[in-house]
Structures are given as C-alpha cells and as structure tokens.
Amino acid sequence: MRFGENFLEEVKARVRVSDVVGKHVKLKRQGREFAGLSPFTNEKTPSFFVNDAKGFYHCFSSGKHGDAISFLMEVEGLSFPEAVEAMAGMAGMEMPKADPDAERRAARNKATISWMERAQEFFEKSLYRSTGQAARDYLKGRGLSKTAAQNFGMGFAPESFSALKDELIAQGAQDKQLIEAGLLIEPDDASRGSWDRFRNRIMFPIHDSRGRLVAFGGRAMEKDAKAKYLNSPETPIFSKGRLLYNYHRARKALSDPKNNARGMIVAEGYMDVIALSRAGFAHTVAPMGTALTEEQLDLLWRAGPEPILCFDGDSAGLRAAYRSIERALPMLRPGQSLRFAMLPKGQDPDDLIRAKGAPAMQAVLDGAIPLVDMLWQREVGAERLDTPEAKAGLKSRLYQALDEIQHADVKALYKTELLARFDAVYGWQAQRRGPGRGGYENKSRKADKITAKAASQGLAQNQRRETVLIGAILEYPELLSLVDERLFELEFTDPACQSLQRAILSYARVTKAVEKESLNAHMVSEGLEEDVKAYSRRRAKVRAAMGGPDAELSDRAAIWNTEADAQAGHAQPDHIQTDTRSRMAETIRNDNADALKRLMRASKKSS
C-alpha cells in the first residue's frame, strides 16, 4: 500500500514518539527529552533518549536511530505498512482508500479471517466434547493442561467429513468461502460436494505477523496417518513460506526489555514451540514443516540480529541445519547472522525440558555455535580428509560457500576466518619457513619440521584409535550392550566417526537385539554407505586390534575400553603437547641431542 507524504506527516504530527516508545520503554523526562533503558541492549544505565520536538529516538548503546514508525518496525517486527497502520490507529485516522480491486480483496480477506475465527471456536469446543476425549488424553500425556491448550487456542477436528462444514454453513457461510479459506476440500467431481479438510486431528491456529488467524495446522491422531501434520493450503490470506508459527507472540516477548536474547528461538514444530514457551522461552517460533525460507529469515532478522536455530541432535537435524546455512549465506549482513543449538541426541525440546527442566534447555541455547562454525563443520564433514585431494576438495567447497555471501565485508571476514582454520588444521606446508642459510635459520626450520611431524603422528594415532572404536562396533555389534554408554560419551574428532557415532545411537535407541546385518542396513538408510565401506576395508586391522577372531566378548570389551581411555586422554593435553613441541624445538636450536631424545621418549609414553 502506498502512502502520500501528507498522510504520513499528519500521522506523525498526531502521535508523539514518546507515546509509541512509552508502550515498550519506561521513560523519565530529562529536560526537553525522555530517557530510559535501551530496548535493544541489556544495560543498567539509561542511554536511550526520545525527543518529541524533533520527532526521533536515539540509542547510544546500540547506535539505532529513527522515528516512531521505524521504532515500531524495529521493536515489534512490523513491516512499513503495518507500522503506519498501527500509528494511524493510535491517531484515530482512517487509512487512505486503496483502489477498488484492493478494497474488494481486503473485504473478502476480512470475511475469510472471520470464518477462520469461527472455525477455531468450533475446534476448541470439539476438544472438550466427548469426541475429543482421545485428543485430551494425548495432550495430558504431553503435560499440557486445559489452560495451556487454551492459551494457544488449540482444538480438535472431529473424525467427520462434514462436522465443520455443517456448523459454518448453518452460521451463514458459503461453500465457496470455506473452500477459499482452505477449510473444505473441493473435489474434481463437483457433484460429490465438498468435505472437511481436517479430520480427527489436534488443531493449532496459525496467525500472521499482526496476530490475525489465517490458517491451521493439524496433528493426526491415527498412528498410521499418511501425513502426521497437515497445514492449510496456500490461500489469499496464507502462504506458509512467509509466516512463522507463534511469531506474533514471540515478537512481543522478545521486545520485552527483560528478555536479554539477541533473537528468536526457532524450533522444528508446534509442540516444541509450546513446550519452550511454557518453560519461559516465549520468544520461540517454528516454520510449518519446511526448511526456512528467505522470507522467514527476514522475519527473524526484523525481530533480532542473531536468532538461534534449534535442531534435534540426529542426522536429520544436522541436515536441516545445513539447509538453513544455504538459505542464510546470501542474506548475511553486518550484525545479522544465526546461531545453531543442537539438542542432545534422541531428545526434542519437550523431552529435554520434561526430563531436566528449563535450565537444561537454557544450557543448550547458551552453547549455540555461530554460523561460521556450523559452516566449517558442514564442509569438513562432507568427506574423509585423509588425502591431499580430499583436503583440496575441502578448500574448494569453502570457496564455493564464500561465493554465496553477497555482502563484501562479511564475505572478506568469512574468507579470513575459514582459510585461517584450514591452514591451522591442514596447512603444515604453508607454515614452514622459507629456505634458510644455515645457523639459527636452519635449526629453526628443522624444529618446525619436527613440530609438524609430531602433530601429524599424534593426529594419525588418534584417527587409528577412532577407527578401531567405531569399526569394532560395526564388526562386533554385540559389543554395544557392554560399551554403549561409554561410546556415546566419547568426543570423536573425525567427521566420519562423528556421523557413524550418531547413527549407531539412533539405531540403539529403537533396537533391543543388535544384529550386524540390521545395523549395516541402518547405516545405509542414514546415508553412510560409503563410510561403512571405508571401514570394511580396514576390517582386518580392526579384528586384529580387538584380539583376533577367536577373542571372547569380555576380552574385546576390555580392549575396547582401553582404546576408549586412550582416545579420551588424547583430546585433553593440547597444552602439554604444545609445551613438549616447543621444548623439542628449543633443544634442536641448542644442539642438545640428549635432551631431545629424553623429550621424544617422554612424548611417546604419554601418547
């Protein structure tokens, strides 16, 4: 919608900036201005000022500056037209008349929303009738009280093809209106008549950014339903790629000065949002069964600079996180990024909160990693990096990811960060000094070679242990019953081992009888066929390391635990290894051969 300058100036003249800001910030007059705590940062001393005479606000702690309209856009996440409409409402002014076609569309959409609201009333009543008993039992089993369900407007669609249709037609609705709203399905054969889209489902109302009811999501009660969750179709008032579930509530929660978050929490589903909101994380939203779109990312960044995307800690959750990276990279801007919080394996937010409480969930959010770390993890984990060609492939993938970043400054800083990581982990040749001419320079270069060799040997030793630990489970799955807890506590450094560890965990959670054939089939279903083949090529070494083909299960378990002890210890003494390498370099420079031999023997024993 377009607004004339005269209309905008009239709106601004009628509504003071302090009237708008005062709804979100406690202001105190200081001379000709008002002062308060910044709504954008967590501060104890006021640095936020409003000047009605000049018509602006200024926040010294965040550097943000603007008028009443831009304030509403920042704090409430409104679009420009929405902010103008809100201001006009405060001023008691009618919005400018649009063209006749737009007016007709607006009137029709208003009527559609009205029928959506009546549908919700029907669903809510149905939940507490006899037909909704099973749905109430399900919600009770998930820890949801009647009050909690009512707070989110939850309801129930009866197992009937015409229950909602009959109700709304009796209230005066037309069949075509309900079809356009997505409440009814129109068959190809018009003679058959329309029928209810949602049947035998727990219903979740979906609102737009202004809080208007525009769609529904329904969770099937049947265990064998083709679609566990069913959303309203695309309609004139609803486009699922442009909205986020619970956004209108989350935006208000995030704008509360008491909320120290830098952005919304993005969960994977409706029940996750409800569980997190009830646990005190009211600034939580969710997409509707799809990966985040560019429009949804834009909504998130309107509300805060650094949303946290929360995913299940399994392979599916990791893939979803990686898809989000693809969408986000071209949209990155200074001060506009993402963080990723991966839940404990096998748990969603509801599971974690019910088992360990809100502090456990807060710990997961506090541990959320920046987008740059998740990007690095994605590229490093794409393939085994045990050859120069594979490492060159990693570098190529990093450059491809960098090409997706559009903002020049962000791209430059990502390039510096990612290539520095590559050089630190894989670039030993790049770290060597140039040709020396004898004396100190030659000794220094020799020390660098010893340092690189020691680090390379340590990395190879750790990779061998990790190969044995994972390979033993693949070769002798019966070991899992004896070492499962220890296996899932280990922190593997090799990306392939990490993926297989997660897949073994997801297998163990649903299987009591561990069989080699079914375990391998599960690995393949998780997309890890190539990794399993790689371990098959090392089968002889794994068998030998685990005591040979005739070893007893108890002996193999003892050997496995010994390897696990060594692997766990390997990751700890980085500072000790660094100190040892430094002392090696120093002894070479001092031509102290005896001291060097002692250090090398000590290093070998410690590994």
The region of weakest confidence among 115-119, 357-361, 556-560 is: 556-560
| Statement to judge: residues 188 and 257 lie in one domain | no
pLDDT at residue 581, as a whole number: 43
Question: 352 lies in a domain?
Answer: yes
| Statement to judge: residues 560 and 458 lie in one domain | yes
| Statement to judge: residues 336 and 253 lie in one domain | yes
pLDDT in tens, 260-297: 888 999 999 999 999 999 999 999 999 987 889 999 99
DSSP letters along 115-129, please?
HHHHHHHHHHHHHTS
Show the domain range for 59.
Answer: 5-91
Q: How many structural domains compose the chain?
A: 4
Indicate the burial class of 69 (C-beta count within 10 angstroms; 0-12, 13-18, 19 or more).
buried
Q: Is the pLDDT of residue 574 over 70?
A: no
- Amino acid sitting at position 556: R
Euclidean distance between CA atoms 412 and 401, whole angstroms: 12
Question: 430 lies in a domain?
Answer: no
| Statement to judge: residues 254 and 278 lie in one domain | yes
Predicted confidence band of residue 305 (pLDDT cuts 50, 70, 90): confident
| Statement to judge: residues 268 and 373 lie in one domain | yes
Question: 602 lies in a domain?
Answer: no
Euclidean distance between CA atoms 197 and 164, whole angstroms: 9
CATH code: domain of residue 80: 3.90.580.10
CATH code: domain of residue 164: 3.90.980.10
Euclidean distance between CA atoms 467 and 475, whole angstroms: 11
CA dist list (Å): 139 to 83, 223, 235, 406 = 37, 15, 29, 45
Q: Is the pLDDT of residue 481 over 70?
A: yes
pLDDT in tens, 140-176: 998 888 998 999 999 999 999 999 999 999 999 999 9
CB atoms within 10 A of CB 210: 14
| Statement to judge: residues 275 and 363 lie in one domain | yes
Q: Taking every pair of C-alpha atoms in the chain, what is the biggest distance, in angstroms?
A: 99
| Statement to judge: residues 115 and 218 lie in one domain | yes
Question: 396 lies in a domain?
Answer: no
Q: Where among 332, 354, 378 does a domain terminate?
A: 378
Euclidean distance between CA atoms 14 and 23, whole angstroms: 16
Euclidean distance between CA atoms 482 and 485, whole angstroms: 8
What's the mean pLDDT in 447-464?
A: 49
DSSP letters along 526-568, please?
TT-HHHHHHHHTTHHHHHHHTT-TT--HHHHHHHHHHHHHHHH
Q: Is the separation of the CB atoms in 581 and 565 below 8 Å?
A: no
| Statement to judge: residues 104 and 233 lie in one domain | yes
CATH code: domain of residue 270: 3.40.1360.10
| Statement to judge: residues 181 and 204 lie in one domain | yes
Predicted confidence band of residue 216 (pLDDT cuts 50, 70, 90): very high
Q: Is the separation of the CB atoms in 476 and 512 below 8 Å?
A: no
Question: 604 lies in a domain?
Answer: no
Predicted confidence band of residue 64 (pLDDT cuts 50, 70, 90): confident
Exposure of 4 in the CB half-sphere (CA atoms within 13 A): 7
pLDDT at residue 487, as a whole number: 85
Q: What is the dihedral of CA 457, 490, 503, 351, to 10 degrees?
A: -150
- Strands of the sheet containing 213-220, edge to edge, are 155-157, 201-207, 213-220, 229-231
| Statement to judge: residues 233 and 267 lie in one domain | no
Partnered with residue 229 across adjacent β-strands are 219
The region of weakest confidence among 33-37, 139-143, 447-451, 524-528 is: 447-451
Strands (E), 210-354: 213-220, 229-231, 265-266, 284-285, 308-311, 339-342
| Statement to judge: residues 226 and 278 lie in one domain | no
Helices assigned H by DSSP within 152-260: 163-170, 175-180, 247-255
Q: C-alpha angle with apex 231: 227 to 232, nearest 5 degrees?
A: 135
Q: Is the separation of the CB atoms in 148 and 90 below 8 Å?
A: no
Question: 402 lies in a domain?
Answer: no
| Statement to judge: residues 487 and 459 lie in one domain | yes
Question: 127 lies in a domain?
Answer: yes
Q: Where among 188, 216, 238 does a domain terminate?
A: 238
- The rounded percent of the chain whose pLDDT value lies above 70 is 85
Rounded to 5 degrees, φ, ψ at 493 are -95, -25
Question: 106 lies in a domain?
Answer: yes
Predicted confidence band of residue 600 (pLDDT cuts 50, 70, 90): very low
Average pLDDT score over the chain: 83
pLDDT in tens, 229-245: 999 999 999 999 999 99
Q: Where among 91, 116, 149 does a domain terminate?
A: 91
Helix, strand, coil in percent for the chain, rounding step 5 = 60, 10, 30
pLDDT in tens, 326-367: 999 999 998 899 999 999 888 889 889 999 999 999 999 999
Q: Which has more pLDDT, 508 or 369?
A: 369
- The rounded percent of the chain whose pLDDT value lies above 90 is 43
Euclidean distance between CA atoms 209 and 322, whole angstroms: 27
What does pTM read for this prediction?
0.61
CATH code: domain of residue 453: 1.10.860
